[in-house]
Structure 1
Amino acid sequence: MFKAELRKEYMQKRKALSSDEAFLLSEKILTNFLAYFKPEKGQKAHIFMPIKKFKEIDTGTFIDAFLKADIRVFVPKVVENTLISVEINKDTVFETSSWGISEPLSNEDSQEVHFDFVITPLLYCDHKGNRIGYGKGFYDAFFQSISAASKKIGVNYFSPDETIDDAWENDIPLDYLVTPTEVLSFFNGSE
């Protein structure tokens, strides 16, 4: 299927989830992430803040778990049409952006490029790790700016069942996908 069709289909599937369902599925995704990746003290995680009106995965539970485990946490912020990475802690002050995203007040880019985990938003991901976001390209540009050793991990309520037929040559695939039921690896184009 084409990106536009999949984007529309998975936006509708997500909208059909109740708030309770979305929260419980987010908890299962966190449980699967922690069991599979076993993050440790001192590691660095870059993680998106959810757009609640789009029922994105609730990453607040991830952030709480990371901070309690002394894992350094970085969140994205769009400044002058570029996605930067801002380090946060339990005392960070946030504001809501025009997109409805909770972002740190600070515009200070951490300049960090070596992350253990880059937890990435998406609407859909196929069996090759190709992802569909909202079409703005922020994460493709961000992936190009960070260390290739950083694990690019998508999180989604739904497992892949369709191939993205119009993936672009410049699209950077994910390394992993975590769903409520499984963790998929996409190294060498295989699971």
Structure 2
Amino acid sequence: MTLDLTHLRTTIRKQRRVIGSFQQKKAEQTVLNRLIRLSKFQQAQKIGLYLHAFGEIHTHKILEYCFTHQKSVYLPMICNMNQRLVWVHISQHQYRNQRFSHHPLGMKEPMQTRGLHVSKLDLLIMPLVACDIFGTRIGMGGGFYDKTLATAPQKPYRLGFAHDFQLVQQRLPRASWDQPLDALLTPHSFLRFQR
């Protein structure tokens, strides 16, 4: 039996959208508490993060933690020429003043026009729709992270963030262009994968 990825995406995205604010805050705090104990996070200076927009694990507290612990924060911006992501450095001031533009796909992006190649980051924290126990990550369907990471086979360390229900037990199909994770962090689990 083949897994219907369209159905899986639709089902999990619906589940994400109905998470209440209390549950989201609790999940965010739990993930942050686990994240700060990871050596990969402690050692990382340049960290790629995302601004939550679709019910993903929220990142506000994680961003603030990075700012107060002198870590450089980079947010993704879609390059329209090649549909890959570039990583734009953002300051605490820019973040707090919401200096972002709205992308047609529904998320906020930094307003700068230039960014770093993903390989310049030490750690990349990624949202996802689903992940299996082998590190196969299913995103929103645009392939932006996959296209971008295909150009950076070694660095950065790839860490997925997910709610517990986004970790699926059934093996997800992995196409040749799919870029697997190095690890997955949820409120109740941490999995390392062989990439």
**If the length of structure 2 is used for normalisation, what is the TM-score?**
0.86
Which secondary structure does the structure 2 equivalent of 1:86 belong to? Answer: strand
Q: C-alpha separation between the residues in 2 aligned to 1:49 and 1:15?
A: 15
Give the aligned CA root-mean-square deviation in angstroms: 2.0
Extract unaligned runs of 5+ from structure 2.
none
Cα deviation per residue 1:62-105 (whole Å; 9 max; x = unaligned)? 11111111111111011313311111111222233233322211
Deviation at 1:116, TM superposition (A): 1.8
The 8 Å contact of residues 77 and 85 in structure 1, kept in 2 or not, is answered as yes
Deviation at 1:41, TM superposition (A): 7.2
Tell me the equivalent position of 1:170: 177
Cα distance change, pair 59–21 in 1 and its aligned pair in 2 (3 A)? same
Q: C-alpha separation between the residues in 2 aligned to 1:161 and 1:55?
A: 17
Cα deviation per residue 1:139-188 (whole Å; 9 max; x = unaligned)? 00111223513110000012523324432122110000000011110125
The 8 Å contact of residues 119 and 153 in structure 1, kept in 2 or not, is answered as yes
**If the length of structure 1 is used for normalisation, what is the TM-score?**
0.88
Tell me the equivalent position of 1:31: 33
Q: C-alpha separation between the residues in 1 aligned to 2:104 and 2:182?
A: 30
Extract unaligned runs of 5+ from structure 1.
none
Alignment of 1:32-181 (within 5 A): 32-37=34-39, 39-40=41-42, 43-51=45-53, 54-80=54-80, 81-92=83-94, 93-111=99-117, 113-146=119-152, 148-158=154-164, 160-181=167-188
The 8 Å contact of residues 44 and 123 in structure 2, kept in 1 or not, is answered as no
Cα distance change, pair 41–179 in 1 and its aligned pair in 2 (3 A)? closer
| More deviation, 177-186/73-82 | 73-82
| More deviation, 118-127/144-153 | 144-153
Q: C-alpha separation between the residues in 1 aligned to 2:22 and 2:155?
A: 35
Q: C-alpha separation between the residues in 2 aligned to 1:11 and 1:146?
A: 28
Higher relative contact order (CA 8 A, sep 6+): 1
Which secondary structure does the structure 2 equivalent of 1:5 belong to? Answer: helix
Tell me the equivalent position of 2:13: 11
